[in-house]
Amino acid sequence: MFRSIALKTMFLFWFSLQINANAGNNTCGAGMTVINPFHIDIDPMEGLLLINIENDPDSVYIGFEPQVFDDPINGNGMLVIAWRVDGYVDVYHQPGLKPDPSKYDIVGKGLAAMVERPLHGAYFRVEENGVQSWFSFVDIYNREIEVRIHEQSTRRRKPFGLLAPMGHAAENPSAMPMIFLHDFYFVRRKDTQIEVLINGHHHASDKLPMPMDRQRMYFARYSPDPLIATLNPAHNGPLNELQASGELTFKRTGNNFNLKNHNGRYYIESITAHYNEHQLDMVFSPGFPNIAQVMPGDSFKGNFVIEGDRSTGKIKGTYSLVEEDGEIRIHLTPCGGWKPRVSKFSLRFMYTVSGMFKNWPKTYHWYATIQKADGGQFVMESAWERK
């Protein structure tokens, strides 16, 4: 009997240790304050199409990019980005949309003009035979612009995933753009009607210089399922204090956070953003330290990976943090560039010949300084630079 009681006592003691150990690994202290300097913004979008006329340019425009929205943030309708010869963009949008002009400083040299136009009857859709799109508007120079694509290919589409090199053209970005294009493909030249008409003059659409999937293509390209994200929009002001409420996994400010407890100090292992069925993860290795627990003289270095769907590849980079004289300095750069998932030889060739696809993220550098104000709140000033 004594032996039975002793065994039960030992089992209960061992079981209590396991509970305590698991509690230490899966929760942080009730009311633990977590200060996080990172954020991923998702901008909903239903589809986009890009048509280039750089080889037969207009006096003002070299391309058009219709985008379709249907969400509470942007509204419902079509918006057309008109890419200018001088590197800036003009934006024309339907009355049902409410675009934020500040978002377009990451596009080319920035926004030149944003005007409302009816765009009556405009449409963009991807059908079994390919892209069907049409839009027409009067530009700010009182010229009629009309673009039409009617693709009637009998061959099966073979789309793929891509990180669009949109950030390559941005000169003074306030955030790092990440345009993940799912179901991405080019417009086939055979059995396609494509027309770009500006002020009564026809402009030839640019052509892809190489065949793809044994088909000749226009440089017009599209995605009916884009994921539009921006990393770390520039910030100048207080940082929100996130209360972990005893859990190591929690959701705040539109992002999900996963923390790790190591010897009583907490680290951000990953940040996740969602849109529809898509998920975008930013994973730190080792975990990024909780700003609220950074001590004088602390110094940290590590790596990060940003990855969504497997088809769109991943972005790799490094981070560093240094505390000196009461100031925390952070540097983050995607120096590893974009690592695509190559599914066909023509893509491998295109990515190799045009290093822009893989290398443009390497030119982005994010700097932040964080200090503790007199009231005890952490204040951050951050910005992006391109080098």
**pLDDT tens-digit profile of 5-22?**
443 333 333 333 333 333
Token pair listed for 380: 């951050």
Number of domains into which the chain is organized = 2
Residue 187 and residue 279 in one domain: no
Q: What pLDDT score does 22 carry?
A: 36
Q: What pLDDT score does 251 carry?
A: 75
Q: What pLDDT score does 33 carry?
A: 84
What amino acid occupies position 200? Answer: G
Q: Which domain holds residue 244?
A: 29-40+233-386
Torsion sign (Cα): 261, 304, 161, 107: positive
Among residues 174, 199, 223, which one ends one of the domains? 223
Q: Is 99 among the domain residues?
A: yes
Residue 154 and residue 279 in one domain: no
Residue 121 and residue 260 in one domain: no
Residue 65 and residue 206 in one domain: yes
Residue 164 and residue 302 in one domain: no
Residue 289 and residue 319 in one domain: yes
Q: Is 173 among the domain residues?
A: yes
Q: Is 2 among the domain residues?
A: no
Long-range contacts of 250-258 (CB under 8 A, 24+ apart): 252/36, 253/39, 254/39, 254/41, 254/42, 255/39, 255/40, 257/34, 257/36
Residue 322 and residue 306 in one domain: yes
Contacts of 334 (CB under 8 A, 6+ apart): 176, 306, 315, 316, 317, 361, 362, 364
Q: Is 17 among the domain residues?
A: no
Q: Is 279 among the domain residues?
A: yes
Tell me which H or E stretch contains 352. helix 345-353
Among residues 223, 252, 283, which one ends one of the domains? 223
Q: Is 335 among the domain residues?
A: yes
Among residues 157, 188, 223, which one ends one of the domains? 223
Residue by residue, pLDDT tens for the chain (387 residues) are 434 444 333 333 333 333 333 333 334 445 578 899 999 999 999 999 999 999 999 999 999 999 999 999 999 999 999 999 999 999 999 999 999 998 887 888 889 999 999 999 999 999 999 999 999 999 999 999 999 999 999 999 999 999 998 777 777 889 999 999 999 999 999 999 999 999 999 999 999 988 999 999 999 999 999 999 999 999 999 998 877 656 687 777 788 999 998 888 899 999 999 988 899 999 999 999 999 999 999 999 999 999 999 999 999 999 999 999 999 999 999 999 999 888 777 787 777 767 678 899 999 999 999 999 888 899 999 999 998
Residue 175 and residue 196 in one domain: yes
Residue 132 and residue 111 in one domain: yes
Per-residue pLDDT of 38-52, as tens digits, reads 999 999 999 999 999
Q: What pLDDT score does 26 carry?
A: 39
Residue 77 and residue 179 in one domain: yes
Q: Is 251 among the domain residues?
A: yes
Residue 36 and residue 51 in one domain: no
Q: Is 23 among the domain residues?
A: no
Residue 185 and residue 322 in one domain: no
**CB of 278 within 8 A of CB of 301?**
no
